[in-house]
Amino acid sequence: MNTFLSVDNIQMIYQTPTEETEAVRNVSFAVEKGQFISLVGPSGCGKSTLLSAIAGLTKQQRGTITLEGTDVMQCRDKIGYMFQTDNLLPWRSIYKNVVLGLEIQKKLTKENLEYADTLLQRYDLWQFRDSYPNRLSGGMRQRVALIRTLALKPELLLLDEAFSALDYQTRVKVSGDVYEILRKENKTLVMVTHDIPEAVTMSDRVIVLSKRPAVVQKTVDIDFGGGMRNPAAVRTDPRFQLYFNHIWKELT
């Protein structure tokens, strides 16, 4: 298979008036189309910084990040980003939140609006389209945030600790929903998480980063057999514990 996303020899340095901090050092990896990749590592190791560079929101000091051979800065409209919190605008209805990205990118075409409607219907939020975010539960709001991102039809999805603000039960349920939605929509996923079970159950590959400055410490391929999986159900698979232990050992 061809490489879809290529992260090549990235170095990222933060400058402040008092000091200079190297957040990421010589990180390289490649992602194929349709693959789900997780980045795990100790708190503050530079995972989110790396993700923000992949999104084209921050510029790295050295190295290249390309999507199908083009610099990510030139193809930001192909990348969707989901944050730790849903970041819905409280004064906008659910529907108006979903089409926010389309409005900004001036893509309010009939076809795109129909697709946004389809997503709302497909993922059980149609009846809430005229409600405001404060009427929805945390899990539902996060689903709205995902639909808002998907409405832009991105080819690459970046999830930055997207479920960590949810309670455990909701988190397992929503991560399962998101996995299913992204597989069905045939998206490529790179997610940052500090939750090893989440990384193992949702990914095809887990990249373990070291403490700051982040370097790739280990890459673990995840295989539960078959294509589509149920992230909640694979937690009882004997291989889950093996993968968990392997990654845990790398992190400690």
Partner 1 sequence: MKTPLSPREEYLSAIKRRKTAVLAVQLVIVISFVALWELMTAKGIMDPFIFSSPSRMLDMLVVMAQSDLLWHILITVLETVTGFLLGVVLGLIIAIGLWFSPFANSVAAPFLVVLNSLPKIALGPVIIVWAGAGAASIIVMAVAISLIVTVLELSGGFVATDKKLLITLQSFGADKKQIFTKLVMPYNIPVLFGSLKVNIGLSLVGVIAGEFLVSKAGLGYLIVYAGQVFRMDLVMMSVIILGVIAFAMYWAVNLVRQIVERKINHDT
Which residue is associated with the tokens 């790739």?
216
Q: Given the complex with partner 1, which of 86 and 195 has the nearer CB atom? A: 86
- The single-letter code of the amino acid at 104 is I
Structure tokens at 26: 């010589």
| Residue 85 beta carbon to partner 1: minimum distance, rounded to whole angstroms | 6
CB proximity list for 7: less than 8 A, separation 6 or greater: 27, 28, 29, 30, 50, 54, 63, 65
Q: Given the complex with partner 1, which of 193 and 210 has the nearer CB atom? A: 193
| Residue 55 beta carbon to partner 1: minimum distance, rounded to whole angstroms | 6
Structure tokens at 108: 């309010």
Q: Given the complex with partner 1, which of 156 and 206 has the nearer CB atom? A: 156
| Residue 239 beta carbon to partner 1: minimum distance, rounded to whole angstroms | 35
Q: Given the complex with partner 1, which of 31 and 79 has the nearer CB atom? A: 79
Q: Are 208 and 247 in contact (CB under 8 A)?
A: yes
| Residue 100 beta carbon to partner 1: minimum distance, rounded to whole angstroms | 7
Q: Are 126 and 93 in contact (CB under 8 A)?
A: no
Q: Given the complex with partner 1, which of 96 and 218 has the nearer CB atom? A: 96
Question: CA dihedral defined by 71, 76, 80, 84, rounded to 10 degrees?
Answer: 90
Residue 182 sits at φ, ψ, to 5 deg, of: -70, -35
| Residue 149 beta carbon to partner 1: minimum distance, rounded to whole angstroms | 9
Q: Are 72 and 79 in contact (CB under 8 A)?
A: yes
Q: Given the complex with partner 1, which of 6 and 93 has the nearer CB atom? A: 93
Q: Residue numbers of the site for partner 1 (CB under 8 A)? A: 55, 57, 76-77, 80-81, 83, 85, 87, 89, 91-93, 96, 100-101, 103-105, 132, 152
Q: Residue 214: how many CB atoms within 10 A of its CB?
A: 27
Residue 97 parent element (H or E)? helix 94-98
| Residue 151 beta carbon to partner 1: minimum distance, rounded to whole angstroms | 10
- The single-letter code of the amino acid at 230 is N
Dist. CA 133–CA 116, nearest whole Å: 17
